[in-house]
Amino acid sequence: MDYKKEIVFLNGQYIGREKAWISPDDRGFVFSDGVYEVLSSYNGKVFEAWRHIQRLDGSLSGLNISGFDPADILEISERLIDANNLASLDSIIYIQVTRGAAPRSHAVDQAVMTPTVYACVKRFLRPLRKQKEGVGVILLDDERWARCNIKSVSLLPNILAKQKAADSGHEEAVLVRDGVITEGSASSFAAVFSGTLTTHPESNRILGSITRSVVIDLCKSAGIEVEERPIKKEELAYAEEMMIMSTTKEILPVTAYDSVIVSDGRPGKVTMRLQALLNDYIDDNCSKKA
């Protein structure tokens, strides 16, 4: 996509990126006082928009930010896809809603705030090679706050963890809190024990990942057992398979963590089956004809 011709959304308008300016008093800039969503589209069709709308609704109400209807993200995404000539391609849509701009003060009068809403789209090149070959991760302490179910733009612990992973040649940092695996710095995590997909239950300790929810639903309809329970770090030694999941990664097999090889070091059967089921589900819901 030609960066100079890119159209973005800012506060109700579709404009060239070079015209998109926000106030230095925006609380998103000053305090990370905002939330975001990342959606995918395949063949120009937005994937599982309703799940993203519900999650954004929860994030906004969790921070008491009002004045933006989360249901609008579908139309914003579709118009951005069209405006940027991505209707026949796959893309990733980023949407951020902050509490808005006000003179710097920790507390504000909510009644006078108007949220800042920004969105952009870029081409999505699915990570097919990593999906086939698998990736390595490192385990790090989970240093995030106690409301990880809110998709807040305040991502400092996440980006520091991800940087450590990247600097040591790993795809992701998988986080450990109180001896339990929570999720990746920007992905959810699951392991397979005796053929059962096992993943941390939804709580304030993890983000309600859209990919994780879709995968759990796919397991249920395909007869793959699912257990949502905390996985102790020591249990990883007995896992048959591990995977990380997100909108931009889809499902990546984890073939090694720290220096430990998972099973035979190759993507496992359950992981590959879930990848195939997810591909079919995407085709069914976002084919050119759908």
State CA 80 to chain mean position distance: 19
Helix or strand run (H / E) with residue 226: strand 226-228
Q: Give the β-pairing of 226-228 and 196-199.
A: parallel
Contact between 96 and ligand PLP by CB under 6 A: the answer reads no
Write the interaction track for ligand PLP spanning residues 9-48; mark x where CB under 6 A is met and - where it is not. Answer: -----------------------------x----------
Contact between 116 and ligand PLP by CB under 6 A: the answer reads no
* DSSP-assigned letters across all residues of 143-197: ---S-TTS-BS--HHHHHHHHHHHHTT-SEEEEEETTEEEEESSSEEEEEETTEE
Q: State which of residues 210, 242, 278, 282 lies at the interface with ligand PLP (CB under 6 A).
A: 210
Of 151, 162, 220, 249, the active-site residue reads 151
Question: Which C-beta is closer to ligand PLP: that of 117 or that of 175?
Answer: 175
Residue 220 is a catalytic residue = no
Write the interaction track for ligand PLP spanning residues 233-262; mark x where CB under 6 A is met and - where it is not. Answer: ------------xxx---------------
- Using an 8 Å Cβ cutoff, are 40 and 51 in contact? no
Q: State which of residues 41, 91, 98, 188 lies at the interface with ligand PLP (CB under 6 A).
A: 188
Q: How far is the CB of 151 from ligand PLP (least distance, A)?
A: 7
Distance CA 76, CA 98 (A): 16
Q: How far is the CB of 194 from ligand PLP (least distance, A)?
A: 25
Q: How far is the CB of 177 from ligand PLP (least distance, A)?
A: 12
Q: Give the β-pairing of 180-184 and 231-232.
A: antiparallel
List C-alpha distances in Å: 282 to 214, 220, 250: 10, 17, 11
Distance CA 211, CA 285 (A): 14
Question: Which C-beta is closer to ligand PLP: that of 96 or that of 209?
Answer: 209
Contact between 183 and ligand PLP by CB under 6 A: the answer reads yes
Question: Which C-beta is closer to ligand PLP: that of 117 or that of 210?
Answer: 210
Contact between 191 and ligand PLP by CB under 6 A: the answer reads no
Residue among 173, 177, 183, 180 nearest 143 (CA): 177
Stretch that binds ligand PLP, among 90-98, 120-128, 204-212, 216-224 (CB under 6 A): 204-212
Kindly identify the residues of this chain, within the stretch 151-180, that bind ligand PLP according to CB under 6 A: 158
Tell me 101's DSSP state. B
Question: Which C-beta is closer to ligand PLP: that of 34 or that of 100?
Answer: 34
Amino acid at 74: L
Phi, psi of 134, rounded to the nearest 5 degrees: 90, 170
Contact between 131 and ligand PLP by CB under 6 A: the answer reads no
End-to-end CA distance of the chain: give it in Å, rounded. Answer: 25
Q: How many chain residues are in contact with ligand PLP, going by CB under 6 A? A: 14
Q: Using CB under 6 A as the criterion, which residues of the chain lie in contact with ligand PLP when the complex forms?
A: 38, 158, 183, 186-188, 207, 209-212, 245-247
Question: Could you list the active site residues?
Answer: 151
